[in-house]
C-alpha cells in the first residue's frame, strides 16, 4: 500500500501524532481557530511550540491556559513585513533550529484595507507575510530534524485567480475574490517551494493542507456583514466540522512520517469539506509551473526576501 492509499484508508486522527519531545514548531495565528487547535495537539505530544501571534494579550492567555506545556509567545503581524523581519531576527537570537513551520494564520473578507507596505490586506497577510517568514527562517529549518514547511490553503483556492491588473482592488473590491486569490497564492507557493527544495536536494520539505469546512473565528469574525451572516451564522452550524478535526490535515502534514511533500492534504469526505486526512485536489492554476515562477518573482519583489540557496524551478 502506498502513502496515498494509506492516507485515504486508515482514518488518521490526532491521537496518532508521534512523540514530539525535543522538536520545535512555529505556528502562525496560534491564538484561535485552527492555529490554537494545532498548538494544543502539538503541545499535548511533547513539542515546544512558538506561538507567532498578532495579539500579545491573547497569546499570554493561551500560554496561561495551557500551563505546563512547552510554549513561548512572540509577536508577529504578517501584514507588516517589518514585523516579519523583526520576528525572524529575534527567533535567530535564541533558537539554533526550527523543525517545522506551520503557515496557518489568515484573514477573511475584510473591507478593503492596505498593509503598511501598500499591499491588499488579505494577500499581504495570507501569502506575502508567510512567503517572507519562510524565507527568513529557512536557515533555521535547514538545521532542523525532519524539517517541514506546512502552508494552509483552502478549497476556495479553486476559485482564485492571480492578480494581473488592479492588485489592490482600488477599482472595485470584492472581499471574497481577494480571499480566494490569497488562498490560490498559498497553494501555488507551497508547490513552487516544493519544486525548488527538491531541485536543491534540500532536507526541508514543503506540504499543503486545507481544513475543509471548519467552524473557526474566520467566518464568525468576518468584517463584511453579509459574509459573517452566510458563513458564521448559517454555514457553520449546518455544515462545519469541529475545529479540532479541521486541524487534522495540517497536523498530519506536520508530524506524520507517511506524509508526502508536494501534495495537498485535505479531508476525505464529499467535497473535501470534512473527514480524515487524505490527498486533496489542486486546481490547474495551482499546479501550473508558470504560475509558480510568476508568483515567486512577484513575491520576491513585494517582500524583498529571496531564497538564495534555492535554484529557480523548471
Contacts 24+ apart (CB under 8 A), 294-297: 294/162, 295/162, 295/185, 295/188, 295/189, 295/192, 296/189, 296/192
Annotated catalytic, 179? yes
- Going by C-alpha positions, the residue among 141, 128, 104, 131 that lies closest to residue 250 is 104
Catalytic residue among 173, 179, 207, 213: 179
Q: How many CA atoms lie within 13 A of 226 on its CB side?
A: 5
The bridge status of strand 24-28 relative to strand 48-53 is parallel
Residues 6+ away with beta carbon under 8 Å from 10? 276
For the record, the C-alpha cell of 146 comes out as 525532519
| Residue 120, beta-bridge partner list | 114
Active-site residues, by number, are: 179
Amino acid at each position: 500500500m502506498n502513502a496515498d492509499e494509506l492516507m485515504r484508508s486508515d482514518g488518521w486522527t490526532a491521537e496518532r501524532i508521534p512523540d514530539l519531545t525535543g522538536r520545535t514548531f512555529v505556528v502562525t495565528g496560534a491564538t484561535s481557530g485552527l492555529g490554537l487547535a494545532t498548538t494544543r495537539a502539538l503541545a499535548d505530544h511533547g513539542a515546544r511550540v512558538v506561538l507567532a501571534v498578532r495579539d500579545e494579550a491573547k497569546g499570554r492567555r493561551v500560554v496561561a491556559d495551557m500551563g505546563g506545556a512547552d510554549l513561548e509567545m512572540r509577536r508577529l503581524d504578517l501584514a507588516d513585513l517589518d514585523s516579519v523581519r523583526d520576528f525572524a531576527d529575534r527567533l535567530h537570537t535564541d533558537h539554533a533550529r526550527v523543525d517545522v513551520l506551520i503557515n496557518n494564520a489568515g484573514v477573511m473578507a475584510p473591507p478593503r484595507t492596505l498593509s503598511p507596505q501598500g499591499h491588499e490586506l488579505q494577500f499581504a497577510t495570507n501569502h506575502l507575510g508567510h512567503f517572507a517568514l519562510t524565507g527568513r527562517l529557512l536557515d533555521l529549518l535547514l538545521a532542523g530534524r525532519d524539517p517541514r514547511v506546512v502552508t494552509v490553503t483552502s478549497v476556495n483556492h479553486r476559485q482564485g485567480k492571480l492578480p494581473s491588473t488592479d492588485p489592490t482592488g482600488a477599482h472595485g473590491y470584492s472581499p471574497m475574490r481577494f480571499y480566494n486569490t490569497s488562498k490560490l497564492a498559498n497553494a501555488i507557493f507551497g508547490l513552487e517551494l516544493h519544486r525548488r527544495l527538491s531541485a536543491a536536494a534540500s532536507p526541508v520539505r514543503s506540504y499543503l493542507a486545507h481544513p475543509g469546512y471548519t467552524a473557526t473565528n474566520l467566518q464568525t469574525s468576518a468584517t463584511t456583514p453579509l459574509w459573517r451572516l452566510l458563513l458564521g451564522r448559517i454555514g457553520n452550524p449546518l455544515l462545519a466540522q469541529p475545529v479540532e478535526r479541521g486541524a487534522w490535515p495540517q497536523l498530519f502534514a506536520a508530524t506524520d512520517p507517511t506524509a508526502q511533500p508536494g501534495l495537498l492534504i485535505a479531508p476525505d469526505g464529499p467535497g473535501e469539506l470534512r473527514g480524515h486526512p487524505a490527498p486533496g485536489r489542486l486546481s490547474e492554476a495551482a499546479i501550473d509551473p508558470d504560475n509558480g515562477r510568476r508568483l515567486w518573482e512577484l513575491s520576491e519583489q513585494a517582500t524583498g526576501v529571496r531564497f538564495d540557496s534555492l535554484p529557480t524551478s523548471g
